[in-house]
Structure 1
Amino acid sequence: MNGRSKEIMIEAGVQCIPGYHGSNQESGFLRSEASAIGFPVLIKAVKGGGGKGMRIAMTADVFDDQLKSAKSEAMSSFGDSVMLVEKYITTPRHIEVQIFADKHGGCVALGERDCSVQRRHQKILEESPAPNLDESVRQDLWEKARTAALAVGYEGAGTVEFIFDNESGEFFFMEMNTRLQVEHPVTEMVTGEDLVHWQIIVAEGGKLPLSQEEIEARIGERGWAIEARIYAENPEMGFTPDSGRLIHMQTPSITGTVRVDAGFIMGDELSSHYDPMIAKLIVRGPNRTTAIQKLHSALEQYEIAGLVTNIEFLKAVCNHPSFVAAEVETGFITKHSEKLFAERPTTPEVYAQAALGLLFMEAAASQENGGAPFDILQSGFVAVAQQRSLGFLPNRTLSSSETDEKSVTVDLLATGLYDVTIGGTPITYRSVASSWDPETHKVTSFFPHTRLETRVIDVEKGNLTLFQQGQQFRLRCATPQWVEKALGIKDTAHSVLTPMPCKILRVEIKAGDRVTKDQVLVVIESMKMETVIRSPQDGVISRVVHQQGDLCKAGTALVEFEELVKPK
C-alpha cells in the first residue's frame, strides 16, 4: 500500500497501521522511519504477496540485514524492490474480508476469513467465519471493507485484509488484494456461491447476484468452513520447500462438504522454481468443532509419497488444544512449537510392516526376473534357515531419541506365515499371517493382538513411506558400515549441505575464513523463497564448493570446513 492509498483509506474513515509508505527507499532513511515508528517493525514489499519480500526487524541492529533480504526476495519474485515499513503488532490475527463490487454501485461483503495460522508469513490454515469475534466487530469489518472498495471505485473481486490486535481488540487496514485469494473456496463453502462465476458476471457488466442481506442469511445457514494448504515442504526444517515426483498420491473422498482443489496428479513433478503448494483441502461443517474433526479425518485419508509434505503437521495443529479453542494469532506455530513438533514414536508394528513389505517387494522383483516365489525361497533369506534381518532408522531431520537402529528379523514358517522379531525391546510376534497386494502396495497382517493394513511405498532405494491407521511414517533402511566403506560414501560431518533443491543467490565467505556459530555462509533461493544458511559452529572454511548462480540438488555440499571448533 503506497502513501496515496493510505491517505485514501484514512480519508474514508478506515484506520491504518502507523508506518512509512513513501518513495524514499534509502536504507538510512527507512531505518530512521522505523525508529520513529518504534520497533518491532514489519518490512514489506509494496508489490508483495504470499509472504514473499517480507521481514520483521525486532531491533534497529538487524534492520539493514532484514531490509536487504526483503528487497532481494521482492526483486526476485516481483521485479520490484520498493518497501514499506509499518508497526509490527506482536499478537496479531490476520482477518480478511471477501468483497465484490459491480459498475452499478453495488458492493457486498461475503463474510470474513481468519488466516492467522501462518509460517514464513504465508497462510496454511484459513477458516470462515473468524472465531471468537464479537458480532459488532464482525459487522464493522465488513462495513470498513466495503468502504475501502467504494473509496477507490473498485469493480470485481477483491480481498480487504486487516490486522486484528488481540490485546486491544482494534483492527487496522493492511492492504487490498485486487483478485480472488487462494483461500476463496472457504468463502464459497459458507455462501454456496461460485465466485469465479461472479467475476464473469461483473466483468460482463452485470449486477451482483445477491444483496448484502441475502449473503448474510446464507452465511448463517451454512455453518463453518476450513481450508488447509497441502505443501511440499519439511516442517521439521523450518518449512523448507521440497521438490521432486509425486510417486504416490491418494486424496480424501470428495463429498458436498469435502473439496480438494489440486494442481497436480500422481506422477507429476514439482519443480523447485515455483511455489510448493500441491493442493487445497476444504471442508465444511455445521459448526467449528465438526469442521475441525472433518478436516482431521480428511487429512488422515490424504497420502503423498515421494515428497516431504506438511500433512502430518496439519494434523498436529488440528489436535492442538489452543487451535481447538480458537486461541489463534500469527505467531501460533512459534508459540506452540514444542508440542506441534513433538516427536511421534514409531510403534514396533510399523517396523514389522516395513520389513514385511520390503521383503514382499523384493520377492516380487525376484519373480519378475525368473526367481522363486516368495513362500518357497524368500529373496534375500538364508536358504537353510529361511530368515532375513533388516535394519531401519526413522527418516526424520529433527534430533530424535530414536537414534538406535531398529533391527527386524523375519522367519518364514509356512506359506504366508511368519515370526517377526523387533530388536532392542525385544518383541516377537508369533505366527503372523501376512499378504501383499501389489496393486495397492498394501501389507495386510494378522498380529496376535490386532489386524493391520499398511501401505508401503519404497520411494527410493530403501527410503520407505508407510501409511497406517491414518498416520504417515518415514523410515530408511540402515546401511551397514562395511557397505559405506566399500562404496566410498563420503563423510559429510565437516560439510554444510543444501536442505533443498536451490539456486545460490549469495556467498558471504571464502576459503580460509574463520567463522563463528550462526554466521551467514550462503543465501539460497528455492521456490521463490530465500533461505539463509548459517554456520553450525565455529570453524575455518577450507573450500567453497558452489558459487553465486549455481543450481544445486538437495543434500549437496555448499561449504567444507578444514576444522570445526566446538564452542567453549
Structure 2
Amino acid sequence: MISRLLVANRAEIASRVFRTCRSLGIQTVAVHSDADAGLPYVREADVSVRLPGNAPSETYLDVDALLHAAKRTGADAIHPGYGFLSENADFARAVGAAGLAWVGPSPESIEAMGSKIGAKRIMRDAGVPVLQAPAEPSDSDLPLIVKASAGGGGRGMRIVRDLARLDAEVALATAEAESAFGDGTVFVEPYVERSRHVEVQVVGDRHGDVLVLGERDCSIQRRHQKVVEEAPAPDLDRTVAAAMHEAARAAATAIGYVGAGTVEFLYDPETERFFFLEMNTRLQVEHPVTEEVFGVDLVALQLAVAEGASCAPGRSMDRPQAHAAGLRPFGHAIEVRLYAEDPTQDFQPQSGVLTAFEIPVSEGLRVEAGFAAGSEVSTHYDAMLAKVIAHGPSRLAAARRLAGALDRARIHGVTTNRDLLVRILRDPDFLAARVATDFLDRTSVVAASDTGEPPRQLLVAATVALAEARRDRRVVQHGVPVGWRNVTSQPQVTTFEPDLEVAWYGGRDGYVVDGLEVASVTPRSVTLVQDGIAATYAVRVDGTAVEVDGPVGHARLVERPRFTDPADAVASGSLLAPMPGTVVRVAVAVGDVVEAGQQVLVLEAMKMQHPVAAPHAGTVTEIDVRPGAQVAAGEVLAVVEEEQG
C-alpha cells in the first residue's frame, strides 16, 4: 500500500494527483523550481521540496534530485504526472532501483512506444493499421508532415505543402525536437487533410488484462496541440469506434502495458479508416472527459494498478469508483485548455502576473488549474493555465454550460485564449460536430479574434472607471467633479493603445458619452444604459492598464501616455521581441539584403521556436543579439532599413 507519494511534476498536473491522494488518505510531496515556488500546488501538498538548479526549464529533469527529494521526505512511491520525465524509461528504472513504487508502465513499455518509428513497426506486427511514410517523397505525395520521433504535444511537427520547403522544415522540426525532448530524430509521413484525432483510453494491469474506457475526440488543435477535447467522439460510427477500441486493446497487449495510457489514431471520415499515430505511456491532459462520462477516477486506477490490483471484469480493485469494467458512458463531456497566449498574434505565448483568476464552478463544471490570482506565468514552461471541463446529458448541453462558465470568468493580467474558446463552443460547425484537425483554419473563429476595436461599451466602461480611479487618488480639490471645465468647448479624450479614442464630458451631472448613459460608476464597476437596456461591467484598474468584463466580452486596455519618452523610441524597421525568450538562431548578418517575410532570427520560449521575420524588404543595419542571448518582450533584436522607392 502506498502511504506517501511524490509527484515529479508541477502546477495543474500535481494538483490533480494530490486531489485523488487526499481522498484515498495518501500523503503527498510536491517538488518545485524557484520559478514555481509561489504556485498553489506547492501549498496543497503535505510537504514540498525545492529542487536545485539555475535553469528552471531543466529543474524537473534532474533524476538524482527527484530521488533525493523522495528519500528526504519518506516517500515510498513516485507519480510522474504527464510531461517532463513521465515517458522516460531511465527514470522509471531509477525509481525502481531506489526501492520506490513507480506509478506508471514498465520501462520496457515506455521504450517500446518512446520512438514513433519503432512503435509503428510494433503496431504493424500486432495488426494495428499505420500510415506508411514515402521512401522518396514527390509532389504527388503532398502534403506531408514532419514529426519528432521521441515526443509529442506539437513540438517538432511541421506541415509541408511545398517540396522545396521539406529540408528547411525538417531542420526546424529537428531543432525543436532536440530542444524539447533531447532527441532530434524526426520522420516524414503523409498528412491527411480534414482528418480527425481520436484516441482511446486504456488501463492495463500486471495480470495481463486491459480495460478500454471509450474514446475521445481531440481534433480541434492549434500548432498541432490540442485545444478542445471531448468524450465520446461525436458523429463517429459505433462500428468504427468498436474497431478502434479493439485496436487499442491489441496495442496495449502487444507491449504488456501496465497503468493508464492512451492509444492515438488518425481518423479519415471520408473513407472511415483510421491509422495508429502513437501511444502515450502516461495519463493524458484530457483524461477528465473520460472520467466524467464513465464516473471513474483514472488516478485512483493508476494507484490501484501500481499496488497490484486487477482491472479484469469481476475482480475488485479495492478503490471507490475504480472498478470500471462493464460501465457504460453517460452523457457527454467537453474540456478546453485555457492558455496564456494571444490568438491574434499566431498564438504567441504570454507571460506576466495574473491579477485576477476567477472561473465560476457549479454542478456539471470542473476546473483544474495550476495558477491562482497573484501567480506569475513564467516563460519557462507550457503556457496552459487551466483545464475547464463541463459534463451534461448531451453534447449541446455540455457545450452551452462550458461556454457560459468561460464567458463569466474573470481572467486579468495576461492575454489568454478564453474568448476564442467561447467562440469555438458556440460555433455552428462545432455544434453540428463538423470537427477536424483543420477546424481553426477552416472556420472564422480565429479571424474573429482580430476584430481590431473592442466593443464600444468596454471602451467607455474603461474610460470612466479610469477617471474615477484617478479621482480617488486625488490629494486636493475633492469637491471638483471629474472632467469639469469652465467652458466645455470640447470633450475630454482618453486614448488606449494602439489608437482607440473615447470622447467624453464630465461635470456635476456625471459623465456624458454619445449613445450611452453612465448610470453608475466606481473604479471597479460601471453600469451603462443603451436604448433603455442596462448592463453592468466589472472593471479592474492597475495604473494605466484596465481590464473590463461584461455581457459583450472582455478587453484588456492600456492607456496611451500623452507624451512619449524619447528613451522609449525605437528606430524605424526595428524588430522587437514578441515575448521573453532565448535567441537560438540568427539567420542573417549586418549588410544582408532581405525580402519581406524572410526569417531574420529564431526565438525559443515555452519550449516552442518562434521565427522573427523582416517586416519589409531592405538591408539589415543592426543585429543586437547573438545565439544564447536572453531577451525581454519588446527588446530590439535587429533593424531592417526599408528600401527607398
TM-score, normalization: structure 1? 0.86
Give the aligned residue type for 2:554: Q
Give the deviation of 1:204 after TM superposition.
Answer: 0.6
The Cα offsets for residues 363-410 of structure 1, whole Å up to 9 and x where unpaired, read as 2222xxx4454xx22466547879972323466xxxxxxx5x423213
Between the two proteins, the alignment pairs up a number of residues equal to 523
Overall identity of the aligned pairs, in %: 37
Change in 2 beyond 3 A, CA 1:211/1:355: farther
Q: 1:358 aligns with which of 448, 453, 466?
A: 466
Change in 2 beyond 3 A, CA 1:65/1:101: same
CA contact (8 A) 2:119 2:278 kept: no
Q: Distance in 2 between matches of 1:365 and 1:299?
A: 33
Q: Distance in 2 between matches of 1:171 and 1:211?
A: 32
Q: Distance in 1 between matches of 2:350 and 2:494?
A: 26
- In the TM superposition, 1:303-452 aligns within 5 A as 303-337=410-444, 340-341=448-449, 343=451, 346-366=454-474, 370-373=475-478, 376-378=479-481, 381-382=484-485, 389-393=492-496, 405-414=500-509, 418-421=510-513, 427-429=514-516, 432-436=518-522, 441-445=524-528, 449-452=532-535
Change in 2 beyond 3 A, CA 1:217/1:205: closer
Q: 2:367 aligns with which of 249, 260, 269?
A: 260
The Cα offsets for residues 184-232 of structure 1, whole Å up to 9 and x where unpaired, read as 01111111111000000000110127679x8586444x20000000000
Corresponding residue of 1:457 = 540
Corresponding residue of 2:344 = 236
CA contact (8 A) 2:197 2:218 kept: yes
Q: Distance in 1 between matches of 2:488 and 2:289?
A: 59
CA contact (8 A) 1:37 1:86 kept: no
CA contact (8 A) 1:408 1:420 kept: no
Q: Unaligned regions of 5+ residues in structure 2, if any?
A: 1-114, 316-322
Give the deviation of 1:253 after TM superposition.
Answer: 2.1
Give the aligned residue type for 1:550: A
Change in 2 beyond 3 A, CA 1:7/1:181: same
Give the deviation of 1:556 after TM superposition.
Answer: 1.6
Corresponding residue of 1:150 = 253
Q: Helix, strand or coil for the counterpart of 1:413?
A: coil
CA contact (8 A) 1:434 1:446 kept: no
Q: Distance in 1 between matches of 2:291 and 2:312?
A: 14
Segment of structure 1 superposing worse, 127-136 or 330-339:
330-339
Q: Distance in 1 between matches of 2:453 and 2:313?
A: 51
Change in 2 beyond 3 A, CA 1:188/1:67: same
The Cα offsets for residues 421-463 of structure 1, whole Å up to 9 and x where unpaired, read as 2xxxxx2545x33132x6xx2224556723222122235x423
Q: Distance in 2 between matches of 1:272 and 1:216?
A: 42
Q: 1:532 aligns with which of 593, 611, 631?
A: 611
Corresponding residue of 2:591 = 512
CA contact (8 A) 1:18 1:37 kept: no
Q: 1:60 aligns with which of 147, 152, 163?
A: 163
Give the aligned residue type for 2:613: R
Q: Distance in 2 between matches of 1:211 and 1:6?
A: 33
Q: Unaligned regions of 5+ residues in structure 1, if any?
A: 21-31, 396-402, 422-426
Give the deviation of 1:419 after TM superposition.
Answer: 3.2
CA contact (8 A) 2:482 2:507 kept: no
Q: Distance in 1 between matches of 2:177 and 2:230?
A: 28
- In the TM superposition, 1:259-298 aligns within 5 A as 259-298=366-405
Corresponding residue of 2:89 = none
Give the deviation of 1:320 after TM superposition.
Answer: 1.6
Q: Please provide the CA RMSD for this pair.
A: 2.5
CA contact (8 A) 1:381 1:387 kept: no
Give the deviation of 1:319 after TM superposition.
Answer: 2.0
Corresponding residue of 1:26 = none
CA contact (8 A) 2:579 2:633 kept: yes
Segment of structure 1 superposing worse, 296-305 or 442-451:
442-451
Q: 1:475 aligns with which of 546, 552, 557?
A: 557
Corresponding residue of 1:193 = 296
Give the deviation of 1:135 after TM superposition.
Answer: 0.8
CA contact (8 A) 2:546 2:556 kept: yes
Q: 2:262 aligns with which of 151, 159, 166?
A: 159
Corresponding residue of 1:25 = none
The Cα offsets for residues 291-313 of structure 1, whole Å up to 9 and x where unpaired, read as 11111101112221111100011
TM-score, normalization: structure 2? 0.76
Q: Distance in 1 between matches of 2:641 and 2:129?
A: 56
Give the deviation of 1:69 after TM superposition.
Answer: 0.7
Change in 2 beyond 3 A, CA 1:324/1:178: same
Give the aligned residue type for 1:12: A
Q: Distance in 2 between matches of 1:473 and 1:519?
A: 33
Corresponding residue of 2:209 = 106
Q: Helix, strand or coil for the counterpart of 2:172?
A: helix
Q: Helix, strand or coil for the counterpart of 1:201?
A: helix
Corresponding residue of 1:5 = 119
CA contact (8 A) 2:293 2:331 kept: yes
Q: Helix, strand or coil for the counterpart of 2:398?
A: helix
Corresponding residue of 1:28 = none
Q: Distance in 1 between matches of 2:598 and 2:390?
A: 44
Give the aligned residue type for 2:512: V
Q: Distance in 2 between matches of 1:131 and 1:78?
A: 33
Whether 1:466 and 2:548 are equivalent positions in the alignment is yes
Corresponding residue of 2:76 = none
Q: Distance in 1 between matches of 2:273 and 2:297?
A: 32
Q: Distance in 2 between matches of 1:82 and 1:491?
A: 41
CA contact (8 A) 1:419 1:429 kept: no
The Cα offsets for residues 329-370 of structure 1, whole Å up to 9 and x where unpaired, read as 11111112475446276343322211111011112222xxx4
Q: 2:129 aligns with which of 11, 15, 20?
A: 15
CA contact (8 A) 2:155 2:176 kept: yes
Give the deviation of 1:561 after TM superposition.
Answer: 2.4
Change in 2 beyond 3 A, CA 1:559/1:202: same
Give the deviation of 1:12 after TM superposition.
Answer: 1.6
Q: 1:82 aligns with which of 166, 181, 185?
A: 185
Segment of structure 1 superposing worse, 509-518 or 383-392:
383-392
Q: Distance in 2 between matches of 1:318 and 1:565?
A: 47
Q: Distance in 1 between matches of 2:436 and 2:155?
A: 19
CA contact (8 A) 1:117 1:328 kept: yes
Give the aligned residue type for 1:435: V
Q: Distance in 1 between matches of 2:314 and 2:295?
A: 14
Q: Helix, strand or coil for the counterpart of 1:66?
A: helix
Give the deviation of 1:247 after TM superposition.
Answer: 1.2
Corresponding residue of 2:219 = 116
Change in 2 beyond 3 A, CA 1:291/1:53: same
CA contact (8 A) 1:244 1:306 kept: yes
Change in 2 beyond 3 A, CA 1:84/1:448: closer
Give the deviation of 1:158 after TM superposition.
Answer: 0.6
Q: Distance in 1 between matches of 2:584 and 2:313?
A: 49
CA contact (8 A) 2:116 2:278 kept: no
Give the deviation of 1:33 after TM superposition.
Answer: 4.0
Q: Helix, strand or coil for the counterpart of 1:81?
A: coil
Q: Distance in 2 between matches of 1:209 and 1:394?
A: 61
Give the aligned residue type for 2:399: I
Higher normalized strand content (fraction of residues): 1
Q: Helix, strand or coil for the counterpart of 1:360?
A: helix
Q: Helix, strand or coil for the counterpart of 1:466?
A: strand
Give the aligned residue type for 2:301: W
Q: Distance in 2 between matches of 1:236 and 1:445?
A: 28
Change in 2 beyond 3 A, CA 1:428/1:184: closer
Give the aligned residue type for 2:587: E
